[in-house]
A and B are shown apart, each in its own frame.
Chain A
Amino acid sequence: MVNKVAIVEASQNAGAESKDNFYDQAYRVVKEVLDKAGMVRKDIDTVVSASSDIFHGGISCANAYYWESSAAFLKPGSRQDGESLFALAYASMRIMTGKHDTALVVGLCKGSENPENDTCTHMYTDPFYQRQIGLNETVAAAMQMRLYMERYGVTEEQCAKVAVKNLGNALRNPYAHRKGMYTVDDILNSERVIDPLTTMQIAPKSEGIIALILASEDEAKKLTNKPVWLKGYGSSLDTFNFGDRDLLNGQLKNAASRAYKMAGITNPGKEVDLAEITEPYAFQELLWCEDLGFCAPGEGGKFIDSGVTQRDGALPVNASGGVLANNPYVSRGLQRAVEAFLQIRGEAGEHQVGKKVKTALAHGTHGFAGQCHAVAILGM
């Protein structure tokens, strides 16, 4: 049993290219979350940020650059690299120990100042084998998609439906970068980038400064009458060599089972009211739904056909538009947590789902075909 940790406030910026420089952008989002919570900088005990040097406009030691503008000046703090849900977990641990009562979590990725995402993801490869064959996240995803369709008979149309749903949902999200009413044909007829993936099934490159304030149980009660609790968390890492992995049998099941165990969830399809999933490639939403236990293995295609994951369905998935609509690579996991938080609070605005959301799941992944996954369960 660990001490309870609450999210008391959250803020984010829009995904489209911003004229603000990185400092101003970080400062504004952090100031906004403090203002919303009625706090000032000195009320924050510790700051944990998430960013990646490879996604940081060519400047190394990313945390050095934004340390002051993210309110961390002369505060105890740290940084997580790659996956921003790690930062949510780390800041929570800092509060669980009782050493800190409040924490600021900031995810930072300014897509407009980075090269193409795959120029960066290509650098995950080892210099000897995988770099020579040009492997990157999209190439890896294309192979995973092909395998998924072949093994389970999932169709390209079913995969494209994810993009139709998510980009449609994004119309209601003022922060979304890419949005619109599209048909399955629109998605499939967009440029074929790496077969079978088409442009509209691949997430864009977005801006994303995301900030959350966390607090201990006692402190949360003073700060808000609508705390959202971290009920569960889990992560898992897969083996490195791409050819050694079964791309349809990865580590998300492990990460999810850890989070479910902590949250006391035994039937996720029933007990999770809403999910925000990191789906940088449309078909991955279907595969991740299977791994999260929302449907049986191989049933992801039928699952989207059933309408369950629509915004008005029984288990809405990516009501915000997801990562296909907004992809600040490093901070996208934390953005999922913010969206889950807003839905639980009933503060998601136009994309608030109709059903009552008591328990929501936020998922983050990075690496080739999901080499690493993190899952957070939030609840009232």
Chain B
Amino acid sequence: MGRPVAIIGVGQTKHGRRMDVSYPDLVREAVLRVFEDTGLTPDDIDGVVSGTMPSMMEGVALTHFYFADAMQAVGKPIMKTETCGSTGVSIAHTAFYWVSSGMADIVLAVGHEKMNEGDSQATMTTVAEPFYQHYFAAGAPGVFSMQSRLWADRYGISEEKIRDAAAYISKTHHDSAFDNPYAHVKVKVTIEDVKNSKIISSPVRLLDVCPNSDGACAVIFASEEAVHKLGREKVAWVRGIGFRGEEYYFGDSDKVVWQSAIQAAKEAYDQAGIKDPKKDLDVAEVYNPFTFQEMMFYECFGFCGFGEAPDMVLGGAFARGGQLPCAPSGGTLCTNPIGATGLIRVAEAALQVMGKAGDHQIPGAKMALGHAMGGIDQFNGVMIVGSEF
């Protein structure tokens, strides 16, 4: 339903600790790159969607004002989408609906974050209200540790096994990041390095955790008519989208059989006609700021049964060359400018089905999933793209 919509190009910054550019210049770098990639000019754009994490992150509020010029959005219709960590995928959803509704033909979506100018964990602490949760659900690692413990305990997975599987994920993603020119952390790590790295919040260790990155991502969405008019062959058609949010209070919901993740994926699968995701998907850019949590997403997204992820990981099912390669870009684990991260997942999924992912291309990828998670484990958003509509 609605008009078919395709991603026709993407632009990313070199992500990392970007003290060489101001925040607007970081945004400009991604935006100019998507114009270079598509051969379009700002005149071709009917609307701009912007989004980021909360204003406390960099100390500037309502950043569409600040980035009006960097996004080439002066005089343009504008939308500002924010849903916390899931912002990036929500930006992509907004651009999709804008084009699909017929209100615009070509829309530029821009996500951005310059985390080295602020204190990300202090910011995340303010997502929790000041009366109850603030004291214990503060910051990301603590929350993800509790969730990991609950999951391992529920299915009786041994400490050793989840540790081995998480280390395997960390090692393979860090390897993959070397094949992604835009990735932030490029460090060769061994399984032993991961297992022996500093404990952040047990069982989570330093190499289980994503970095603070500066980065921006820009993606151009176009209607079927515009795709034909522009004569584009290699595009990524939006095949399915899903988004769900659940209880605000962390203790109110089951974060293992995690409904927002399960239902967001199901909504997207139904639209895309996906019955068996492990078979029907060729690549999944799962949002993985923490190794352990990545395994929970495999289960909630139906890539394997509940409690089975560690065995599947250790068997190589989700590695490059496996049945369903996950995060071949190195993923969020190696690059996390939060407001851009979800859009980077969608962009990477699009690059895969367009056959433009370069050294981390999964050969013959036709259907790919991009995902982001936000809030205190509260929101999940998914976008599925395919080489054919």
Contacts and interface: CB of A to CB of B under 8 A. Distances in A.
Chains A and B are bound partners: yes
Interface of A: 1-3, 52-54, 58-68, 72-83, 86, 89-90, 92-94, 96-99, 120, 123-128, 233-241, 251, 254-255, 258, 366-368, 371-372
Contact of A82 (B64, B77, B102): B64
B62 interface: yes
Nearest to A234: B77
Contacts of B378: 64, 67
Contact of A236 (B77, B80, B98): B77
Contact of A124 (B66, B84, B259, B375): B66
Given A90-B79, A98-B2, A126-B60, A239 B68 contact: yes
Nearest to A233: B103
A65 B68 contact: no
A125 B63 CA distance: 9
A2 B98 CA distance: 11
Nearest to B76: A237
Contacts of A80: 79-82
Question: Which of B124, B248, B259 is most buried by chain A, counting CB atoms within 10 A of its CB?
Answer: B248
A371 B77 contact: no
B103 A93 contact: yes
B75 interface: yes
Interface stretch (B10-18, B89-97, B146-154, B345-353): B89-97
Contact of A97 (B94, B100, B126): B100
Interface string B238-276: 000011111110000000000110010001000000000
A53 B81 CA distance: 12
Given A79-B83, A128-B22, 7 more contacts: A58-B130, A63-B379, A74-B259, A74-B260, A90-B94, A93-B98, A241-B69
Chain B interface, >50% SS class: loop
Given A82-B64, A236-B78, A63 B83 contact: yes
Interface residues of B, number: 64
Nearest to A367: B65
A130 to B, nearest CB: 10
Contacts of B93: 78
Contact of A63 (B59, B79, B245): B245
Contact of B130 (A59, A82, A123, A234): A59
Contacts of A251: 75
A67 B248 contact: yes
Question: Which of B22, B54, B126, B375 is most buried by chain A, counting CB atoms within 10 A of its CB?
Answer: B54
A64 B243 contact: no
B207 to A, nearest CB: 27
22 contacts: A3-B102, A60-B124, A61-B84, A64-B84, A64-B378, A73-B247, A74-B245, A74-B263, A79-B90, A89-B79, A96-B2, A96-B101, A97-B1, A97-B2, A120-B61, A124-B62, A128-B22, A240-B66, A251-B75, A254-B75, A258-B77, A368-B65
B65 A59 contact: no
B22 to A, nearest CB: 8
B199 interface: no
A263 to B, nearest CB: 13
A361 B93 CA distance: 28
B102 A2 contact: yes
Nearest to B85: A61
Question: Which of A76, A123, A241, A368 is most buried by chain B, counting CB atoms within 10 A of its CB?
Answer: A76
Contacts of B130: 58-59
B127 interface: yes
Interface in B123-140: 123-124, 126-127, 129-130
A366 B65 CA distance: 10
B4 to A, nearest CB: 11
Given A74-B260, A367-B65, A238 B246 contact: no
Nearest to B78: A237
Nearest to A65: B248
A82 B123 CA distance: 19
Given A1-B102, A123-B60, A239-B69, A63 B126 contact: no
Contact of B90 (A54, A60, A64, A78): A78
B55 interface: yes
A125 B54 CA distance: 15
A63 B90 CA distance: 12
A98 B94 CA distance: 15
A64 B78 contact: no
Question: Which of B55, B98, B260, B374 is most buried by chain A, counting CB atoms within 10 A of its CB?
Answer: B55
Interface in B71-121: 73-84, 90, 93-94, 97-98, 100-103
B389 to A, nearest CB: 15
Contacts of A127: 59-60
A72 B73 contact: no
Nearest to A56: B54
A124 B65 contact: yes
A234 B79 CA distance: 11
Q: Which 4 A-B pairs have the closest CB atoms?
A: A97-B2, A60-B54, A96-B101, A61-B84
Given A60-B54, A74-B263, A371 B65 contact: yes
Contacts of B97: 90, 93-94, 97
Interface in B31-78: 48, 51, 53-56, 59-62, 64-69, 73-78
Contacts of B53: 60-61
B167 interface: no
B376 interface: yes
A235 B56 CA distance: 26
Given A81-B62, A366-B62, A96 B83 contact: no
B62 A78 contact: no
B375 A64 contact: yes
Contacts of A2: 101-103
A237 B81 contact: no
Interface string B342-377: 000000000000000000000000000000001110
B56 A236 contact: no
Nearest to B378: A64
Contact of A81 (B66, B81, B243, B246): B81
B62 A68 contact: no
A68 to B, nearest CB: 6
